[in-house]
Structure 1
Amino acid sequence: MIVPAVSFPNNVDYKNQSIAVPGTKRPGQTAHYQNAIYGLVDASALATLPDIFDNGYNTNPDARLLGHRPIVSTSPLKFGPYVWQTYKQVDARRRRVGSALHSLFSRGVLKGDDLETVGIWSQNRPEWQLVEFALHAYNKVGVGLYDTLGKDSVEFIINHAHLSIVFTTADHIPALLKLAPKVAVMKMIVSFDVLSPDAYKAFVAWGETVGVQVKELSELEKYGEEHLIPPLPVSADTIASLCYTSGTTSQPKGMEYPFVALSVLNFGISGAVLTHGNLASSAYSNMFGLDYPPNSIVISYLPLAHIYERVIELASVAIGGCIGFFTGDPLRLLEDAQMLKPHFFPSVPRVLNRVYQSAMAAGDVPGLKGAIFRAAVRAKLDQYHATGVSTHPLWDTLVFRKIRAVLGGNLHLVSSGSAPISAEVIDFLKIALCCEAAEGYGMTENGGVCTRTSKADPTCGGTIGPPQPVNEIKLVDVPEMNYTAEDKPNPRGEICVRGPNCFIGYYKDEKNTRETLKDGWIHTGDIAEIDTQGRFKIIDRVKNIMKLSQGEYVALEKIENMYAACPLVQQIFVHGDSLQSYLVAVVVPDPLTLAPLVSTILGEKVMPDDTPSLEKAIKDPRVVAQVLTVLNREAKKNRLTGFETVKRVHLSLQLFSIEDNTLTPTLKLRRKDAFAKYSPELQALYALGEPSSGSSKL
């Protein structure tokens, strides 16, 4: 029997999106809240990850499943159109890979500790999912490593998770072989890439010197075909994954927020233990409200090592959808989308803010063209806020067709995760892309599933919606920060969540497990309020605040996210010093919006690609002052208080990046490293003294 997706019902009462369960209110906390649209659903219909795969397979075994763009030229580098593997083809390959792994573990060639763990260190590609499907079907535990992890983190995870085999790409093989003396548990490396004869010979010889076998994936599949066995039984309680993610400190830890969270809890270095039931129920929960065409397409570019992307792709598989992988080059992402024409574009605010800023910069221009664009935006926003309808026969054809085409033209859904996104941006995306744009909240510990905004809710911008159908949520008092369940007009407190999607603990880390899992509830560390319509809204972070010298508390990342919606801001790092009474910031302006501003101030035309001129201009006090003026307007629009408003800025054209260790692999700021990078400049801003009202000092 095929378990179908559940369509979003008609005539939803948006004024009542959560149900407070009678009799569950206790002193110091709210009642338990459940989803009012679907209720609390039984997730046992798809109890394990093989059930997820089989559900998609049985929809149509000959349907497309995994697609990629092959390289057709290396000089210059060019990619061809998408080529696809069907469910039936992937099923045969996962059986070969899974049989090979089971044989190797059974023979003792590979050895687990208490679990038979398998590592994957690669960018998103079809082979990543192929191996995962094999692990699910043959009772092995997957451990994803971010493609951008440094050698220290890779070394730690291999030893901590006892990875005797790592699947990877050709470019990572030398790093793994160099690490071999420090990771004695690793016995085999399997290359996703076909190696040249010379490279293969060299890697095999090098591996022999350090006790590691090096093979190609095709060799493993051939071995599996010779030792083929049926998939092994698993249950909802069977462990499926250890999820290590890189937080805001320099080492990986088990807690990371793929949806709207303000930061990462500093829980040390450990991996979240997720069972088949955890991940399958998360995927099943995401099937509620899915109104996709048959064989719908999701584009895969967010890291598969992260729970957000993994659960999205599992949900797509469950409904018989297909996954199109990007080429691996972020600069080609739009090209990939235009060729793939996806129906679903999972994303993060950093990407979506750029889409918004580029669209606004292109459309909001002087003259008739700009007037038409502004009229279209105003008319569609008014319509959306009144009715929840994001399409319009005139404006969509006249104005928004080209914006839709940038992401392929077929979108049904855009989702935003990883950090908060402003209501202004999310509402614009709905009317400009003519599709649903959902914002959600989750974490590794609950399989990336906790809350999500409801389809066509005309006023959900700025909220994270009601509980997902498999969850219950309560808010617990945080008295030291003056948040309580009795607050008026809305209850406030720390989000606590429970459900079949919630993890069983941190691997080899009882202390942090006890601190996070209390009485069956995950304590998230995020503070929310629940509005009169039953929607949650993140307002603060239990531990991610700092105090200014006058005693005022500020949530730095919340402030950064508000400024990030400004078209001038490409990146921003807000810094506070407890010995100072005000905030300063490093701003990386967007050249597309910086260039016109500079041209106006300097009285000469400066183009966005004229980096030397822009570098010179950002040192001009007049330019810095004007940027601060623009930021002040954004602060006022977001109703930031005086002490939450940035008073001085340093401008830079050098992006925060994973490469310089100022961003995590999921593009969150590493605050300590960002401060270290700009410490002299930030200290120089404070050395100017406290700004007075009307002061031009910057």
Structure 2
Amino acid sequence: MESKFNIPVAFPANVDYSRQAVEVPGTRKPGQTGHYRSTAYPFLTLESPGALTTCWEIFEEGLSRSNGGPCLGRRPLVSKEPLKFADYYVWESWAQIDTRRRAIGSALHNLFKKGTLGGGQLETVGIWSRNTPEWQLLDCALHAYAKIGVALYDTLGKDSVEYIINHAETTVVFATSEHAQFLLKLAPSVPRLKMVVIMDDIPTEAKDILVAWGKDKNVQVLGLLDLEAMGAADLVEPIKTRPDQLATICYTSGTTGNPKGALLTHGNLANAVNAQLSGYVPQGDDICAVSYLPLAHIYERVMALCNLAMGGRIGYSTGDPLRLLEDMQILKPTFVATVPRVLNRVYQVAMANAEAPGLKGMLFRHATEVKLQQLRATGQRTHALWDRLVFRKVAAAFGGRVQLMSCGSAPISSTAMDFLRMALLGDLLEGYGMTENGGTCTHVWQCDPSSSGTVGPPLCNTEIKLIDVPSMGYSAEDKPFPRGEICFRGDHSFKGYYKDEKNTKATIDADGWIHTGDVGLMDKCGRLKIIDRVKNIMKLAQGEYVALENIENVYSSCPLVAQVFVYGDSLQSYLLAVVVPDPVLLSHLLSKLGRHVSSADIPGLQESLSDPKVNAAVLSELTKTAQENKLKGFEMVKRVYLTMEPFTVDNGCLTPTFKIKRKETYERYKNELNALYALPLPTSAKL
């Protein structure tokens, strides 16, 4: 059956890589650039011919394309002690998922209609779980029955969970048994909560205890299969939602204050999916994605919807980061949505291999040189000889079948990106997006030989402009390239923050432009490059302004660095940093210094960090990176504190989206940083 939707759209032939985005004539105004649009495609709106307009349509389209094939899968748990998973995936078919989403959706629809659930301003439904097939199943059910999904981050603490449930007036939460216990303890603080549905399989005795506990708290507790049975006994046809109906309130974690609830409609998400499916046509019938990035975040959710729209299948990781590559080697996905922290790890291990002695290291270095020259000259990422001899092993880390990787959420160095583009044997497209645009704003063009270091031109549904930031010295008139705060608009633009008029007005202007708070420049080819963050600046004692996040991004590109926090005191003339070294690269550095410590010996590595020679060697590597990236002298870190303890959500240094919480991280390392400032002034930092 021929589809009425125009997806996917092939990347045009004979595109002009020197002209990837252009200003719309007549749109330039004082204090801003004109409106940039992609040159590769017509501008995509919800009214465009063949456009997707709702999440309900996305599932129906995937169902018709799937031919009844597999939809959602997982590795079965073999044993809990020791923890072991099967070396295969088990799948539920598209037909099975369709039947289940109708049962779940019908049950919820009837419960809201009867007044058992609801009573607030919106019919919201909470989901609190790591990535599982059930998470996606629930989301599809909510889309089909006009309910509004509210994701709770698996790593959020008590205060944020309580705040979101109350703020969104959520009366039912689907949760794992572990989280169900937390919710029942929280019940007196979330008086609107009426029902908790347990998503995972638990013993009957444990379930009975939770049910009894729930009665005591006036909260009904039942299992997911119980709810499905209720719905199957009283089925209701799916509701064909409108593009302007809310699909989700997606709470952004933020580095300070309470989370903000971004309001995203069916039209917003469908438009984002439609745009993401422009420029790439999968090869072969088996379209398979791995899901491991949090579904509570918009990036992974939109990537999942892209896969579903194509009638593909999604395999869920075990949830253990140490098993992620094992999951992919078993699943063999064709599409991977990823983030720099995963890619950097692969890059760092590869660079260690490049330093190997003898023939092995020599071959690796020569193959890398040949392919990088080819990539930068032509954009071509494959090579018949060196792929077979060297890089097939790198690609095998991700299962060996990856056709496309998307990378977003944080910066990655151009050096690492170039290497990975030619080593992974599939397209690796870096992009830029945020919750407020469905994770969809820009991404690089495939086979672009010089795109590394940029996030590409606007996608086909996005207009971008840059506006002056006088306080930071950025202007649309800057030469050679215009610079300024990035603003975007399109049919994927969110509708505002729930119950938060102040932040909504500060973010969305009268003409519908979303002000991102990120600073970018447009290069000569019409590609965006993220260079700074509005207001994230501080002044050193000598009066120089420094942009801390920008400096952290530079140092993060140093292979030796796993994580870095840059700190400056306005009463001081120079910057400090807390650095978490990569274990493999640190072990390699130590061997050069005559110390031999295995990368697996974390206590041994930690002990080595107290050696002043090791500290000096790490600082030397950081300084090389700073000089290569042309940081000014006052922007360079002059002293470092080294630790093998990573910044995590659990220790309060990171948000659930893995951004550094500056205040909390400083408080954690305040004594160490103060001790560094108490030392005599570094020679290079004297006023």
Q: 2:278 matched to 1:271? A: no
Could you tell me which residue of structure 2 aligns to residue 379 of structure 1? 370
Return the match for 2:98 from 91, 94, 112: 91
- Hey, what does 2:35 align to over in structure 1? 32
CA distance in 2, matches of 1:576, 1:583: 5
Conservation of the 8 A alpha-carbon contact between 1:64 and 1:295: no
Q: CA deviation at 1:426?
A: 1.0
Aligned partner of 1:599 among 557, 572, 591 = 591
**Alignment correspondent of 1:155:** 162
Q: 1:73 aligns with which of 75, 79, 83?
A: 79
Matched residue SS, 1:88: helix
* Cα deviation, residue 252, structure 1: 4.3
Contact conserved, 1:34 with 1:40, CA < 8 A, in 2?
yes
**Which amino acid in 2 is paired with 1:286?**
Q
Counterpart mapping for 1:250-649 below 5 A: 251-253=257-259, 270-293=260-283, 294-518=285-509, 519-601=511-593, 603-649=594-640
Q: In structure 1, how many angstroms separate the alpha carbons of the residues matched to 2:531 and 2:685?
A: 31
More displaced stretch, 396-405 vs 357-366: 357-366
**1:202: which partner in 2?**
209
The equivalent of 1:43 in structure 2 is 46
Give the Å deviation of 1:694.
10
Work out which of the residue numbers 7, 15, 26 in structure 1 matches 2:18.
15
Q: Quick one: which of 178, 182, 207 aligns to 2:185?
A: 178
1:530 deviation in Å? 0.6
Match of 1:650 in 2: 641
Instruction: Give CA-to-partner distance per residue, 1:663-698, whole Å, 9 cap, x none.
Output: 112222111111111000001111113210499xxx
CA distance in 2, matches of 1:459, 1:651: 35
Gaps of 5+ in 1: 254-269
Which one of the candidate residues 656, 662, 665 is aligned to 1:671? 662
What is the rounded CA distance, in whole Å, between the counterparts of 1:523 and 1:531 in structure 2?
20
**Aligned-pair CA distance for 1:290:** 1.8
Residue 96 (structure 2) pairs with residue 106 (structure 1): no
Structure 1 residue 39: Cα displacement: 2.8
Deviations 1:571-610 (A, max 9, x none): 1111111111111111111121212322332x34322223
Higher mean C-alpha deviation, range 74-83 or range 109-118 = 74-83
Measure, in 1, the Cα distance between the counterparts of 2:247 and 2:73. Answer: 24
> Secondary structure of the residue that 1:271 maps to in structure 2?
strand
Bigger mean CA offset, 438-447 vs 552-561: 552-561
Instruction: Give unmatched runs, 5+ long, in structure 2.
Output: none
Seen in structure 2, the aligned counterparts of structure 1 residues 156 and 190 have a Cα distance that, compared at 3 Å, is: same
Aligned partners of 1:43 and 1:284 also within 8 Å: no
RMSD across aligned positions (CA): 1.3
The residue matched to 1:173 in structure 2 has which SS? Answer: helix
Matched residue type, 1:118:
V
**CA deviation after TM superposition for structure 1 residue 522, in Å:** 0.3
Of stretches 136-145 and 614-623 in structure 1, the one that deviates more from structure 2 is 614-623
3-state secondary structure, aligned to 2:452: coil
Shift of the alpha carbon at 1:647? 0.5
Asked whether 1:64 is paired with 2:70, we answer: yes
| Structure 1 contact 43–470 (Cα < 8 Å) conserved | no
Contact 1:237 1:275 in 2 (8 A): yes
CA contact (8 A) 2:352 2:588 kept: no
Secondary structure of the equivalent of 2:683?
A: coil
| Deviation sequence 1:233-267 (CA, Å, 0-9, x none) | 21000011000021222x442xxxxxxxxxxxxxx
CA distance in 1, matches of 2:345, 2:536: 26
What residue in structure 2 maps to residue 262 of structure 1?
A: none
Q: TM-score, normalising length from structure 2? A: 0.97
Deviation at 1:615, TM superposition (A): 2.2
Distance 2:612 2:55 in 1: 58
Matches of 2:662 and 2:113, distance apart in 1: 45
1:363: how far off?
3.1
- The normalised TM-score by structure 1 is 0.95
Matched, 1:136 2:143: yes
Equivalent residue pairs, number: 677
**Cα deviations across residues 206-254 of structure 1 (Å, max 9, x unaligned)?**
10011001110000000000110100121000011000021222x442x
| Separation (CA, whole Å) in 1 of partners of 2:315 and 2:429 | 21
Q: Which amino acid aligns with 1:570?
A: A
User: C-alpha displacement at 1:384, in angstroms?
Assistant: 0.5
Task: Identify which of 224, 234, 242 aligns with 1:235.
Answer: 242
